[in-house]
Structures are given as C-alpha cells and as structure tokens.
Structure 1
C-alpha cells in the first residue's frame, strides 16, 4: 500500500538546528551580504548611529538594517512591514541578523534617514566590480525608463488636465441646474423635495471642487514646469512608449557596460524626456570606469546637438540615431538629408544639382545657425514641387553640425550598435521591474526615491556578479579588496 511523505512532528523539542551556523551553507547568498556589509566602513559612508550613544535605549547597528534591506531587495521584499515579518520567520534572515527582529518603523526610518549613505553603498559595490576587472570594457549604453510614483494620475494636474476637469464639472453643474429647473415646474411633493435637496447638494459639492481647482491652478502657475502633484510633490506626469499613455512618476537613467551588463552609474530625475541626460550620464560613467576613451551608445530620445557637442569636447565618442522630424519628408518632399554639404565651398548641393550658397547667420535658443539658399536656382528648378511650396528652399546648418554628421556616419558604418544597445540596456530594466513585482516605487520625494533606486541597482549588480563569478568567488574578492 502506498504512502505519502510525512512531515516532522511539530511537538518535537528541536525543530531547527541549535546552532545558527547550521541554517545556512557556504554557497548561500546571505554569505555574500554578510561579507560585503562587514567590509564597509559605515561611518565613512555617512550612516547615522554607527557609534552607540551613552544614554537611552540601545539602538540597532546600521549594519543590521543594511543587511536586512539588501536581502529584501534581492528577494523582492521591499516593504518595511514585510521585512519585519520576514525577519521573524525567515531562517536566512535569522542567521544574517542574529535573530534580531527590528520593528517596521525602525526599518522604514533607516531607509528614509540614510538615503545618501545607501547611494554610496551602491557606488562602493561598483568600485569593487571595477577592482575585480568586471568593468574593463570601453563601451556603455545609456537609457532611461519611467517608474510610477506614489501619486495617482487624478492627483496630478497640468494645464490640459485642469481644463478638462473644469469643463467636466461645468457640464455636470449645468445638467443638475437644468434638472432643478424641471423639478421647480412640477407639483410640490415629498419626492420632489428630496430630489431637489439631493441636486442642490451635488451642485454645492461641485462648486467646492471648482474652488479647490482654482486654488490648485494658482499653485500650479507658480511652478517652473507648470505642473503640480498632490501626494508626491516631486513626481511628474511623463509620456511613456505606449501611444496615448503616460505615468506620474520618475525617469530613471542608467549607464550599462556592454560586456557583463552591469549598471555603471544611475540617476533619478523628474524630467520626462532624455534630451538633457546624455552628457551628464556619459561623464559620470567615464568617471566611474576611470577610462580615458569611452564609447557611449543611446537611442534617438537622447539626440541633442548641444549634448553631443559637450560629449565630443569631453573626449567621449557617442553613437545614436537622429530622429526624423522633417515636415517636408513627412509630406513626401525632399528632406535636409537629401542635400549634400560641400565644406570646401561652404554651400549645399540640392537633389537637382544646384548649389545653395551661404547668406547669413543668426542665433536661436543659444545656437548659432547658418542659412543657405538660392532663389534663382529654385525658380528655374524642374523638380521644385518635390522640394518646397515656397519661393525657395532654405537650408539651416548649425555651426557645429559636423559633429552631428560624424555621429550619423558612425551609425551608418555600424548599424549593429542599435541591436547592442537594445540587448544591453533592456536587460537591467526588465530585471529590476520584474524584481519589484510592479513598476512603482514605494517612497515619496526625489531624494528618497533615489535611495530606493540605489538599493534596486545594488541588488541587480549583486545578482549579476554572483552569476558571473559565483558566490564564493565574490566573497573572496570582497575579503581581498
């Protein structure tokens, strides 16, 4: 007769090993966390409470709470309340924390009060990766991704959202007032009185909402970006890749090296686009890697002439596609790329073969622009209808346009780099968001979100290095550093 596997008797006296060391083998990830945290100089990194006070109740050492957080972010447990529960029932955490069980308020305050120090821990592990030779490559990929904040879309206001909401309320008020007029024309009764009172209450609430929106509109107009969020004031409404979709959150920037897909550096911003992020991220990556020559790859969202110029002047090589924003090309006419620049003549050759000479320069948005055209050539052109509906076609050239052209030539010669970009940088973001369980952060305000993201990046890099060189190899490297 068959039988099932039987569990242990719950009434036995020694259900777990008496020695904590017997709970965890040498290849367990908590051994890596233990070795890494014990090797850190926590006071130098800026952790509060690293030295015990002479009076008052004994506090938890910051190493205990740091180990708890690193373990939690490695295992998809980021909530302070869930970490408290895990500390009391998880045998790995019993070993790691010496059976200490901090309360959730202590756990939450540690993350909130030590944001700068937590970011330094992430930087310290990247430095360790560099010492181990895992960041020896000369190419990084820069990209950004949106993470939802603790702020509902209904509690974020822009001018467009405010106008739509006010229009909806005005329409509702008009509808209720019309119903009140209809009720006044009917014979008085208890039902009509109840209906009238209910409608008046609705109109009153809507008018209060109009007053609230008017006050919010005044506050919104005082902000630099003409936007306001009520739950998390630092979060901003941002467009995402889905058409017509968006998110109220933060824009997380990363620079990832192409060999091992480790995150070299990262930054959290509340700016919804990437156009001003290329040079800062590239320079930060080079400083972290300590490399003189660095090749930076990005997508078209980072394309900005000034950013490219700043990178080139800093000695950085950049490769990214130029977005096709030409209205002429969209309408089926020749685009600027169909005109060839002749540097020896400082002129353009149009698709019909005519020469468009330089006429004058002016400055727009801080950029010196040069203008080229030939009215006579355009008037006599047989294919002018394919070029412009105006009297002549004018070409504008930025004074540093040759830098942009070098970037395009580099991409044309190495089109596979866009595949490298996609395969490199989508991996970390996908892993981090999968580990989060969702794409939202738990904390409010930009500095706190930056600290939370540093823990995510640290957990990702730890996992990658353990997979690359093994847990025992990483422990040996930590002790040797």
Structure 2
C-alpha cells in the first residue's frame, strides 16, 4: 500500500526500486521494454565521431530532435546543419523548431493512420492545394476550410466537403457523414521536408550507417554489461567516459596516434 501510494504520486506513474531515476524504455514490439535510460547521440556522417550526447530517462525520442540538433550545431560552430533522424523523432513542433534555428531536417513520417490500416484512404491520399487553401480528395472533390481550433497548444484548421454522402468512394474514405481533415498552421514546413526526403531516399541509409555505428561499437565493448552506475547524474558521467574513449579511438584510427597528439598540442 505504501508503494502504491508512492506510485500514484509520481508524475509518470513509475517507480524503480533499483534505481530511482531509471524508467521503462520501449525496445520495439508492443508490450516489450526494459528499465533503464535513453541515450541520445548526434554523429557526424563523415568520420562517425559523436558530436553531442545526452542521457535522459524519457522512454521515447519525440521531444529530442531540436535539442540534439542544436547541441551538435553549437559543438561544431556551424551556422547551419542538416540532420537525419528516424521516424521515432517525428514531431511537427520539433521539426519547425529546427527550421527556425536554421537546421534542415530529414525525418520520415510514421504511418499511424487508422483509416489506412483499416483499408480506407489516408491523409497522404489527399492533395493540399496551397493556392486556394483546400484539399483535393481521391474522387477529385475539394475539401474547404470550415473552422480553426486549438489542440494541445497547436492551431489546427479543419476541412471537409459537404457532398461526401453521395460520393461513390464514400465507404473507401470515411465511416462518418463526411471525411474531415485537420491541418496544422505550420504544416507547410513538414510537407516541404517530406518532399525533400522523397527526392533523396538515400538519406535514411546514411542515418543507419552513421548513428548506429557508435552504438554498436560501444555495446560490443561493454559486452553483456549494462550501465554500472545508478541515478541520472552518475549514468550521464559514465556515458561521457564511454563517448570520450570512443572518440579518442576513432581519432587514432583517422589521424594515427601521432597525428592525434599533434592535433591536441596545437
């Protein structure tokens, strides 16, 4: 009962009796997970050096894109940066935050549409016509803007076509009276990113070859061992030591030991 009281009082309804800062992390597959930490890294595509890293106890990556991108940009002293991330980082507000900071992003959109999963048209089947601020549906009809509303702090515009019920494709489109679409006020930024990604699909291959390399190497070095320390500050320090060792060995591979010493002493 005492533990239950603590559990209900905790902000995220989680308690770890081994490490008070550790939290449940999704590791792929519904219902699967492990208790630990979420390590974020930004890795350069040319040399696979870890430019920036951070340890969090948040079990997902959705709020980390702009944070890690800005850290990487500041570390290398660049005014602009191109960042590639997997679909776990996809959040409209994070993509816009990067765009406003002069950072170009490539993040594939997750396929979460229940309509598509149930065999109906998804939002991607509707073409947005910017000139008239309308959506063209698969049947060729135009969905016009009806009203705007706020959802989770985001201004959303709502569109629909009033003649949906007489459409021959109605059952392929919606189970309701008419198909309604919502468009975020900054969705043009997200749309432009998706167009760029479609024209350069090789970007995701580069991501896999880049950011996964250090993780694979570090896990190989650690073997079956997990983090040896407990609590977020200590785990962060332990990870920093891993990153330092990794980057030093990478630099020795790139420049040689003498080259690295020369670079350090300049």
Secondary structure, counterpart of 2:175 in structure 1: coil
Answering whether residue 121 of structure 2 is matched by residue 334 of structure 1, we say yes
Q: Deviations over 1:60-86 (max 9, x none)?
A: xxxxxxxxxxxxxxxxxxxxxxxxxxx
Give the one of 61, 73, 88 matched to 1:286: 73
Aligned to 2:218: 432
Answering whether residue 212 of structure 2 is matched by residue 417 of structure 1, we say no
Q: How many residues matched?
A: 266
Aligned to 1:466: 252
Q: Deviations over 1:32-67 (max 9, x none)?
A: xxxxxxxxxxxxxxxxxxxxxxxxxxxxxxxxxxxx
Distance 1:413 1:291, change over 3 A: same
Q: Which runs of 4+ in 1 moved over 3 A?
A: none
In the alignment, the residues of structure 2 paired with residue 317 and residue 421 of structure 1 have an alpha-carbon distance, to the nearest angstrom, of 14
Unaligned runs of 5+ in 2: none
Larger radius of gyration: 1
What TM-score results when the alignment is normalised by the length of structure 1?
0.55
Give the one of 368, 371, 378 matched to 2:158: 371
Distance 1:439 1:335, change over 3 A: farther
Answering whether residue 32 of structure 2 is matched by residue 245 of structure 1, we say yes
What TM-score results when the alignment is normalised by the length of structure 2?
0.98
In the alignment, the residues of structure 2 paired with residue 467 and residue 423 of structure 1 have an alpha-carbon distance, to the nearest angstrom, of 18
Q: With CA pairs under 8 Å and 6+ residues apart, which has the higher RCO, 1 or 2?
A: 1
Q: Deviations over 1:253-273 (max 9, x none)?
A: 000000000000000000000
Q: How far did residue 431 of structure 1 move?
A: 0.4
In the alignment, the residues of structure 2 paired with residue 309 and residue 302 of structure 1 have an alpha-carbon distance, to the nearest angstrom, of 13
Alignment of 1:46-445 (within 5 A): 214-376=1-163, 378-438=164-224, 440-445=226-231
Secondary structure, counterpart of 1:333 in structure 2: coil
In the alignment, the residues of structure 2 paired with residue 293 and residue 388 of structure 1 have an alpha-carbon distance, to the nearest angstrom, of 43
In the alignment, the residues of structure 2 paired with residue 450 and residue 242 of structure 1 have an alpha-carbon distance, to the nearest angstrom, of 27
Q: How far did residue 357 of structure 1 move?
A: 0.6
More helix by share: 1
Unaligned runs of 5+ in 1: 1-213
Distance 1:439 1:370, change over 3 A: farther
Secondary structure, counterpart of 1:412 in structure 2: helix
In the alignment, the residues of structure 2 paired with residue 242 and residue 322 of structure 1 have an alpha-carbon distance, to the nearest angstrom, of 19
Q: How far did residue 475 of structure 1 move?
A: 1.3
Secondary structure, counterpart of 1:469 in structure 2: helix
In angstroms, what is the RMSD of aligned CA positions?
0.9
Q: Deviations over 1:199-231 (max 9, x none)?
A: xxxxxxxxxxxxxxx110100111111100112
In the alignment, the residues of structure 1 paired with residue 136 and residue 17 of structure 2 have an alpha-carbon distance, to the nearest angstrom, of 55
